[in-house]
Amino acid sequence: MAGQRAVQQRTARLPDHYFQAVGSGTGGIGVWEMSERFLRDGRFGSRLPKLHLAQNLPFGPMVHAWEKKSRELFAEDLRPELIGQISTRVLSTRYPAYSVKGGVFDAMQACGGSMYGVTNREVFESMELFSNLEGVDIVAAAGVAVGALRQSVEMGIVKKEETILLNITGGGELMLGREKKIYNVEPMFVSRKITDKEIEELVCMLLKKNS
């Protein structure tokens, strides 16, 4: 919370640009909706931040549809075999909230901005760059977002004096593994018909096992 307050004190308004890697697209939609609320409040500026959303090529259905300003995604961009060629399975949603009313297409139209296709090579280069500059490792999905920011800077889309919000997820996983003891967690499947008594017995067993 302290960091959040510090950011608010420094900016006192919505950023000019917002960068995020997307799979379902709901993150970008959420930023659009919350930005609208901030504008109605009246204390955070008068312009929506431009959305800069990115996907990991060659799986980029939303990227290719937006490039053609199409509300509908193209079947050839949703082929399952494309998913096996990317480094970010978490971004491989084949049914994103793109075409629906109030979805990514409408968010991009309202906010402006760009969509970016980031290759695997660019992902890993961006992960290394971020680690070298900021001193913390990031996961591949965040590398996609950094790759999009790099592309936008190279194309002159964002300016040095503008305020940029970069969405970084999964920071410090490698650092945590080096500095702390970690444990492999085995998944446990529970029936939807489980009773309260069975839940209680399960919890007691887990607590005893990990004590």
Model confidence pLDDT, tens digit, residues 65-119: 999 999 999 999 999 999 999 999 999 999 999 999 999 999 999 999 999 999 9
State mean pLDDT over 185-198: 83
Confidence of residue 3 (pLDDT cuts 50, 70, 90): very low
Least confident of 35-44, 141-150, 185-194: 185-194
Q: Does residue 186 sit in helix, strand or coil? A: coil
The better pLDDT of the pair 73, 181 is held by 73
Is the pLDDT assigned to residue 186 strictly greater than 70? Answer: yes
- Supply the CATH classification number for the domain 2-179: 3.40.50.1100
Give the per-residue pLDDT at 68.
97
The residue type at 196: D
**Do residues 72 and 114 lie in contact, with contact meaning Cβ atoms separated by under 8 Å?**
no
**How far is the C-alpha of 61 from the C-alpha of 78, rounded, in Å?**
6
* CA distance readout (Å), 178 to 17, 94, 138, 174, 190: 34, 35, 14, 6, 33
Please state, as a whole number, how many other Cβ atoms lie within 10 Å of the Cβ of residue 40.
8
**Do residues 165 and 45 lie in contact, with contact meaning Cβ atoms separated by under 8 Å?**
no
Q: Which two tokens stand for residue 179?
A: 């500095």
Tens of pLDDT, residue by residue over 125-136, are 999 999 999 999
Least confident of 5-14, 86-95, 163-172: 5-14
Is the pLDDT assigned to residue 153 strictly greater than 70? Answer: yes
Q: Which helix (H) or strand (E) holds 123?
A: helix 120-134
Q: What is the pTM of this model?
A: 0.80
**Do residues 40 and 118 lie in contact, with contact meaning Cβ atoms separated by under 8 Å?**
no
Give the per-residue pLDDT at 4.
47
Give the per-residue pLDDT at 205.
86
**Domain chopping of the chain, boundaries:** 2-179
Give the per-residue pLDDT at 32.
97
